[in-house]
Structure 1
Amino acid sequence: MEGQKRFLVALCAAAAAGLISVIFVLIWVLHYREGLAWDGGLAEFNWHPVLIVTGFIFLQGMAIIVYRLPWTWQFSKLTMKFIHAGLNLLAFILAVIATVAVFDFHNAAKIPNMYSLHSWLGLTAVTLYCLQLVLGVGMYLIPISPVSWRAAFMPVHVYSGLLLFASVIAVALMGITEKLIFGLSNPKYKDSPPEAVFVNVLGVFLVVFGALILWIATRSSWKRPSDQILHTLHTDGEGEDSTKADPALTQPSEENDAEACGEVRRRSNKLDDQAMK
């Protein structure tokens, strides 16, 4: 299926860019910097970029598109909600540890905290991400909020999630540039030493990863079908060609999606008539 092939290409490219970013940040701190430790020194600070890239960027990106993976559509929506929330929770925990590492290093080295734009926006992103996580769990995992509230909040939840993801990448780019400017003295950052070029490439991979995740997350033709459509396809689609049984990947327009839903309703009515007979 052409739609599925495009999706798989985008997914593989995003996963590759994300994994390369994680590998690059590890090489950066282990080869060019002082390694990793939890001793209040520069090695403790290095946990900050590693955990931000691994958790706050890579895991958050995967959490955003987890609903789009066709091989997960066999699982219930509730199961996927728990997976989505679990990935986001893990990303938040790693972001908090990364923030603690910076404060510990600054306090040990007698460096002022919260003086740069990077630190302002970074702490704001962590705080808003926590709020997003709490509201998401309260609205969609705890069955107490009215359906109308959940429906009304969903566009806000989706938009704020994508905005936070893009913002985190932007703040990370600010952070690695700031680190290179402060950390490179002989030669300086402006002289393009190997470390500077290497980390600039890391920044490019972060942008590519973010762009691909946002592309996958905003394609309506790759959206998970409703549970009603999935149930109907499972119960009434035996023997049909699989290319006709996947409206989320084969139908590119909202009009065709509506036709697919109409077909589901017609199938359901037909089954009801047969049952009554």
Structure 2
Amino acid sequence: MDEVEQDTRGFKPLYIVAQVAGFVTVILTGIWMGHYRGGFAWSGDNQFNWHPLLMVMSLIYLYGNGILMYRVFRNERKKKLKWAHAIVMISAFFISVIGLKAVFDFHATKGIPDLYSLHSWMGLITVIMFLLQWVAGLVTFLFPGLASHLRSSFMPAHIFFGLFIFTMACATALLGITEKAIFSLKDDYKSKGAEATLLNWVGVLLIIFGVLVVYLAQNPRYKRLNRPEDEMLLTETLHE
């Protein structure tokens, strides 16, 4: 695919910083749960530990990368990007469902009430909105025969809600980190020990990743330019 001349100065270094921040966020979350919180299991006390790791992996890292897909692979055919975008997003959803199951099963085992905190409310709302956004995107942009003007008119709403839901996911994760720190560390959180420092870095890196994803997605200079082949029928084969 021939490259289209476009001013993308600053995109690559910011994207690299975002990738490092996002990837390290996932790694540090795994270390936090795996080393400091006792490791992973699908039963007992350690079942909960899957929840933070899978939610950060899915609704933060994968979601953020799905949003940036059109910016990173700007010279690929649009219909290929649509399918790749849809697959990444539905993968993020299924991973998040496993993360939710982990915490609900843990609560049931321990007799802990569900959905009582702001974190849990925002988390459930975020996952539901994410699924609705994915279904709306599937019907609008991948459904054969839908008029192009309908797709174009829906695009601003799709972009807005995509970034809004991503921001919700980041805010929910930060609430969850704080909640877990207070419940688990209690007064030890004030001592600024190794675990407290690590989870604070998880929050800082998560914010860096989230801010850069939104900035790179919203900056009009980095928007993927339309190509003549973008208007080809979606019912055509994906093979070149």
Code of the aligned partner of 1:8: K
Counterpart of 1:241 in structure 2 is: none
Q: Distance in 1 between matches of 2:26 and 2:92?
A: 14
SS of 2:10's partner is helix
- How far the C-alpha of 1:143 sits from its partner, in A, is 1.6
Q: Distance in 1 between matches of 2:80 and 2:206?
A: 29
Code of the aligned partner of 1:58: Y
Counterpart of 1:46 in structure 2 is: 49
Distance 1:83-1:2 versus aligned 2 partners, 3 A rule: closer
| Equivalences for residues 11-90 of structure 1 within 5 A | 11-39=15-43, 41-69=44-72, 72-90=73-91
Code of the aligned partner of 2:90: L
Q: Which runs of 5+ in 1 are unaligned?
A: 232-277
SS of 1:188's partner is helix
Distance 1:128-1:190 versus aligned 2 partners, 3 A rule: same
Code of the aligned partner of 1:22: V
Q: Distance in 1 between matches of 2:117 and 2:127?
A: 16
Q: Distance in 2 between matches of 1:213 and 1:83?
A: 18
SS of 2:144's partner is coil
- Residue 13 of structure 2 is aligned to residue 9 of structure 1: yes
Q: Distance in 2 between matches of 1:92 and 1:7?
A: 27
**What per-residue deviation string (whole Å, max 9, x for no partner) do you get for residues 88-147 of structure 1?**
111111111111111000000000001101001100000000000000000001124322
Counterpart of 1:153 in structure 2 is: 154
Q: Distance in 1 between matches of 2:98 and 2:228?
A: 41
Counterpart of 1:221 in structure 2 is: 221
Counterpart of 1:101 in structure 2 is: 102
Counterpart of 1:168 in structure 2 is: 169
Q: Distance in 2 between matches of 1:42 and 1:88?
A: 30
Distance 1:192-1:95 versus aligned 2 partners, 3 A rule: same
Counterpart of 2:194 in structure 1 is: 194
Counterpart of 2:137 in structure 1 is: 136
Counterpart of 2:237 in structure 1 is: none
**What per-residue deviation string (whole Å, max 9, x for no partner) do you get for residues 220-255 of structure 1?**
111111012999xxxxxxxxxxxxxxxxxxxxxxxx
Contact 2:51 2:103 in 1 (8 A): yes
Q: Distance in 1 between matches of 2:11 and 2:87?
A: 24
How many pairs are equivalent? 227
Q: Distance in 2 between matches of 1:47 and 1:95?
A: 10
Q: Distance in 2 between matches of 1:195 and 1:115?
A: 26
- How far the C-alpha of 1:2 sits from its partner, in A, is 10
Using structure 2 for the length normalisation, give the TM-score. Answer: 0.90
Identical-pair percentage: 41
- How far the C-alpha of 1:192 sits from its partner, in A, is 2.5
SS of 2:76's partner is coil
- Residue 126 of structure 2 is aligned to residue 122 of structure 1: no
Higher-Rg structure is 1
Q: Distance in 2 between matches of 1:67 and 1:7?
A: 13
- How far the C-alpha of 1:215 sits from its partner, in A, is 0.9
